[in-house]
C-alpha cells in the first residue's frame, strides 16, 4: 500500500460530481482504472453534460451526428485503449477500456469502433444515433464558447497506482471523422505509475502538435513537481508559438506523492449553464480523508 494519500483530479468545474464519485470509490478500495471508467460514465450517460462537450448530449458534427472520442491509460503497465469518431454507442470510455483489454490494437475508429463495441455486448442507442437537423431548429454549427471540450480524470488509488481517462464529443460543427487530441496518448492524456499522470483540454487540433501530457509526465520524472511541470510545458508551447496566436489549453497533473498541478492559457471560464465565473481554469481535486465535496482550484492564465 502506498504511503501517499489517494487523490483524484478532474478537468473543469463541471467534473465535481465525477470526481466526488471517484473519491467514494477510492474509499471503498476499488482500483484506479475501474474508478476512472465509472466516474467518466457518470458524465457520459447524463445529457446535462452535453453543453460541456461531453456524453450523450454532446456537440454534433457538421452533419448533425454525435461522434465521441474517449481513452483510458493504466499506469502500472502503460496499457492504453481508445475509440475515436464512435457513433451510436454510449459510454465510449468503457468501449475504450475494452479495446485496451480485449483487442490486439490500441485504438479503433469510426465504424470499426462501433463494430467492436457491438461485438462485445454494447447496443446501439437510438437517442444518440438520431441525426440532428438544422431545418428543425437544432444547432449543429460551431459555437463561440470557451474551451471546455474534454472531461479528464486522473486517479491515484490506495495502492499507489495511477490511471487516467478522457471523454469528449469534440467541437460543435466539426467535420465528420475529425479527431482531436483527447484520445491520443501523450496528447490528451498520459500516465505512468512510476511517476504520475497528466490530462489536457482545449483546442485539440493545436494541442496534438505538442504532446503536452507526455511532456509533463517526463518533466515530473526528472524531478519537477506537478505544478512546475505543468507551467514549464505550457510556457514552452507559448515560446514555440512565437508571434502566432496562443490557443486555448488547460492541463492537470498528479504525481505518485499525491501532489497536484495545473496550468492554462485560458483567461477565464464561465459555466455555460449559468454557474459561477472563474478567473482562469477551474479544476476539481479530491484527496483521501476529505469529507466535503471536492475542492475547486483555479489556475491563472500564463502569459
- In angstroms, the Cα distances linking 231 to 57, 78, 174, 219, 300 are 33, 24, 30, 10, 11
Distance CA(98)–CA(185), nearest Å, equals: 16
**Catalytic pick from 7, 11, 84, 150?**
150
The H or E element spanning position 287 is strand 281-287
DSSP secondary structure, 234-256, as one string: HHHHHHHHTTSPPPPEEEEEEET
Catalytic residue flag (residue 141): no
Point out which residues pair with 253 in neighbouring strands. Answer: 198, 261
Question: Measured between alpha carbons, how far is 249 from 83 in angstroms, rounded to an integer?
Answer: 22
Helical (H) or strand (E) element with 24: helix 16-27
Q: Which residues are catalytic?
A: 150
Amino acid at each position: 500500500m502506498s504511503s501517499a494519500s489517494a487523490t483524484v483530479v478532474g478537468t473543469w468545474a463541471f467534473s465535481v460530481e465525477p470526481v466526488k464519485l471517484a473519491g467514494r470509490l477510492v474509499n471503498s478500495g476499488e482500483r484506479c482504472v475501474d474508478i476512472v471508467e465509472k466516474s467518466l460514465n457518470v458524465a457520459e450517460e447524463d445529457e446535462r453534460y452535453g453543453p460541456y462537450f461531453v456524453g450523450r448530449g454532446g456537440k454534433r458534427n457538421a452533419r448533425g451526428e454525435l461522434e465521441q472520442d474517449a481513452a483510458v491509460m493504466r499506469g502500472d503497465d502503460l496499457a492504453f485503449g481508445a475509440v475515436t469518431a464512435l457513433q451510436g454507442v454510449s459510454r465510449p470510455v468503457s468501449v475504450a477500456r475494452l479495446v485496451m483489454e480485449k483487442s490486439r490494437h490500441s485504438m479503433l475508429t469510426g465504424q470499426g469502433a462501433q463494430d467492436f463495441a457491438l461485438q462485445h455486448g454494447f447496443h446501439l442507442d437510438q437517442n444518440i444515433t438520431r441525426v440532428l437537423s438544422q431545418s428543425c431548429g437544432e444547432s449543429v454549427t460551431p459555437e463561440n464558447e470557451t474551451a471546455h471540450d474534454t472531461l479528464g480524470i486522473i486517479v491515484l488509488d490506495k495502492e499507489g497506482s495511477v490511471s487516467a481517462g478522457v471523454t469528449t464529443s469534440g467541437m460543435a460543427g466539426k467535420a465528420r471523422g475529425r479527431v482531436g487530441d483527447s484520445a491520443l496518448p501523450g496528447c490528451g492524456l498520459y500516465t505512468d505509475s512510476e511517476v504520475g499522470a497528466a490530462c489536457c483540454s482545449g483546442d485539440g487540433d493545436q494541442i496534438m502538435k505538442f504532446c503536452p501530457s507526455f511532456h509533463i509526465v517526463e518533466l515530473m520524472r526528472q524531478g519537477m513537481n506537478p505544478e512546475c511541470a505543468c507551467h514549464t510545458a505550457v510556457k514552452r508551447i507559448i515560446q514555440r508559438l512565437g508571434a502566432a496566436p496562443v490557443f486555448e489549453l488547460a492541463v492537470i497533473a498528479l504525481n505518485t506523492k499525491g501532489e497536484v498541478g495545473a496550468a492554462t492559457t485560458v483567461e477565464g471560464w464561465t459555466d455555460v449553464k449559468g454557474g459561477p465565473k472563474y478567473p482562469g481554469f477551474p479544476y476539481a481535486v479530491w484527496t483521501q480523508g476529505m469529507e466535503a465535496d471536492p475542492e475547486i482550484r483555479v489556475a491563472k492564465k500564463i502569459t
